[in-house]
Amino acid sequence: MSDTLFHNMTLISHDPLNGFGGVGEGMALQVTGKGERILWIAHEGPPKNFTGVDVSDPRNPKVICQTELPHSNMRSNSLEVTGDILAVAYQVYELGLEPAGFELFDVSDPRNPKSISHYSTAGPHSRGAHCLWFVDGEYVHLASGAPDFTPRHPRDDQIYQIIDVRNPSKPEEAGRWWYPGTMEGDDAPPPERIIPEPLDTLRGGDAFRLHNANVYPDHPDRAYLGYIDGGAFILDISDKSNPTIVSNWSPHNPYPGFTHTVMPLFDRGLIVVTDECIKDDGADWPKLTWVLDARNEENLVPISTLPLPPVEEYTSKGGRFGSHNLHENRPGPSFHSEEIIVGAFFNAGIRVYDLKNPYQPECVAYFIPPGPENSRVPTIQMNEVYVDENGIVYCGDRWAGGLYILEMDI
């Protein structure tokens, strides 16, 4: 690819996904009973729901399955696969629409996914589910509205829900939690907005709602929440019916909001936290990836941020520039490291950091291809990244570029 910027990363293949190259925030890798390796990809928006790509040979990916959304007023955006069950989040663009929530699919035959069940979170104040986490085959951890949840502020509409899917044909809610003061009728006062109305629309977001909830099977009593303007939360979920706050850390204010992902590095007592960039041309700069000292989980202390290239150069390129998704050390056929952090940074591409010294993170590799054809913006917008157990990096452009497969040389 001409005009590609790279260091210690090599493009080994690229697939435009049949011309539907808008990749959302969901990538997950399945190893089938026959040994095939299927990368499942959620799409940023309609008309496609999800795509399955055979990456058994990552140098020669093949689309084997591509499904349609039920209608064009929705998106799937997020998915996870555990064993032969694929969970797909559904978010609608208008309150009250169906289907909203998530759907489980049997993908034992990846060329022919079969619906197992649909868990509805539709309601008069619900847009459904934006993001889900499903890594243990037992619980879906969901960022979603709910039919019986009425937010005090319309943008505070997605809360943390724990859904028991041990019987995948009959998902049931096991527990829920929301930021105190955001539900109508709460005893707590509503949280102070990061930017007072009506100026909040200038930076976008401005919400006290859940984005990500990460729960790791080897630490099943803890949930790590990215709660947008509410910052990072650690919850005790040893009693799933009654989650309780362990700690909360937020740099908002003075930094602009939108905490996205909270990823613990358990053995080192660290947490990596991303604040998502949601505006083009640096309008909401800075959107950083923070490193927190979490040895005392009740007192989270910021100790560094991951360095980015010069802001003046990248905010002038077009599109978003700043933090977004991380490879999250999930179980399964997945790369796991407490020193190497791989992230998607929109027009700054895929970037790899060495966190050996957490006080001085170092960028050790990056890959920035040119902007794809038919994109809404002139630059690449790397939106999602997944790294397999062999160190192969799968990443996707938000609007048009499709799937890029990379090797690291670090």
Query: Which residue in this structure is represented by tokens 């992230």?
Result: 343
Q: Which residues of 38-77 are buried (b: 16+ CB within 10 A; e: fewer)?
A: bbbbbbbbbebbbbbbbbbebeebebebbeebeeeebbbb
Q: Is residue 173 part of a domain?
A: yes
Among 243, 245, 221, 242, residue whose Cα is nearest residue 233: 245
Side chain identity at 42, as an amino acid letter?
Answer: A
How many angstroms separate the CA atoms of 77 and 387, rounded? 19
With a cut of 70, which residues of the chain have pLDDT below it? 1-2, 195-205
Predicted confidence (pLDDT) per residue in 379-409, tens digit: 999 999 999 999 999 999 999 999 999 999 9
What pLDDT score was predicted for residue 237? 98
Q: Is residue 2 part of a domain?
A: no
What pLDDT score was predicted for residue 325? 97
Predicted confidence (pLDDT) per residue in 138-174, tens digit: 999 999 999 999 999 999 999 999 999 999 999 999 9
Phi, psi of 331 (to 5 degrees): -65, 170
Q: Which residues pair with 68 in a beta bridge?
A: 48
Q: Is residue 310 part of a domain?
A: yes
Q: Is residue 407 part of a domain?
A: no
Side chain identity at 355, as an amino acid letter?
Answer: L
Q: Is residue 57 part of a domain?
A: yes
φ/ψ bin of 101: left (φ > 0), alpha (ψ from -120 to 50), beta (otherwise): left
Q: Is residue 396 part of a domain?
A: no
What is the number of structural domains in the chain?
Answer: 1
Q: Which residues pair with 248 in a beta bridge?
A: 233
Q: Is residue 92 part of a domain?
A: yes
Q: Is residue 113 part of a domain?
A: yes
> Residues 295, 286: contact at Cβ < 8 Å?
no
As a three-state string, the secondary structure of the chain is: CCCCEEECEEEEEEECHHHCCCEEEEEEEEECCCCCEEEEEEECCCCEEEEEEECCCCCCCEEEEEEECCCCCEECCCEEEECCEEEEEEEECCCCCCCCEEEEEECCCCCCCEEEEEEECCCCCCCEEEEEECCCCCEEEEEECCCCCCECCCCCCCEEEEEECCCCCCCEEEEEECCCCCECCCCCCCCCCCCCCCHHHHCCCCCCCCCEEECCCCCCCEEEEECECCCEEEEECCCCCCCEEEEEECCCCCCCCCEEEEEEEHHHCEEEEEECCCCECCCCCCCCEEEEECCCCCCCEEEEECCCCCHHHHHCCCCEECCCCECCCCCCCCCCCCCEEEEECECCCEEEEECCCCCCCEEEEEEECECCCCCCCCECCEEEEEECCCCEEEEEECCCCCEEEEEECC
Predicted confidence (pLDDT) per residue in 281-335, tens digit: 999 999 999 999 999 999 999 999 999 999 999 999 999 999 999 999 999 999 9
The sign one gets for the Cα dihedral 361, 294, 262, 252 is negative
Q: 407 is written with which tokens?
A: 């090797």
Distances (CA, A) of 389 to 3, 347, 392, 394: 29, 26, 7, 12
Structural domain harbouring 130:
24-185+203-339
Residues in the chain: 410
Pairing of strands 301-305, 340-344: unpaired
- Give me the CATH number covering residue 86: 2.130.10.10
